[in-house]
Amino acid sequence: MTENPTDRYKACEACELLKALEVEGREGRDQSMEVDARVRYRRHMREAHRREIPLPL
């Protein structure tokens, strides 16, 4: 079974915070906050966890 590259690391507080900000932006219809959180999450995954998150199609 392959691991999903979008899975968050269970013990990573930064991952959890960034995903929570994304959800907050989506629920509040704040697209700027949502996109910013996504970009920061992708950057964090690349730098901290050495994982590349594919862009959505």
CB count within 10 Å of CB 17 equals: 14
Identify the pLDDT of residue 55.
Answer: 77
- Between 45 and 55, whose confidence is greater? 45
Identify the pLDDT of residue 53.
Answer: 85
49: helix, strand or coil: helix
Tokens (6 digits) for 35: 């996109």
Q: Note the pTM of the prediction, 2 decimals.
A: 0.75
Q: Are 52 and 45 in contact (CB under 8 A)?
A: yes
- Between 8 and 55, whose confidence is greater? 55
Q: What whole-number distance in Å separates Cα of residue 50 and Cα of residue 38?
A: 16
- Overall average pLDDT of the 34-51 stretch: 93
Q: What whole-number distance in Å separates Cα of residue 3 and Cα of residue 17?
A: 21
Q: How confident is the model at residue 30 (pLDDT cuts 50, 70, 90)?
A: very high
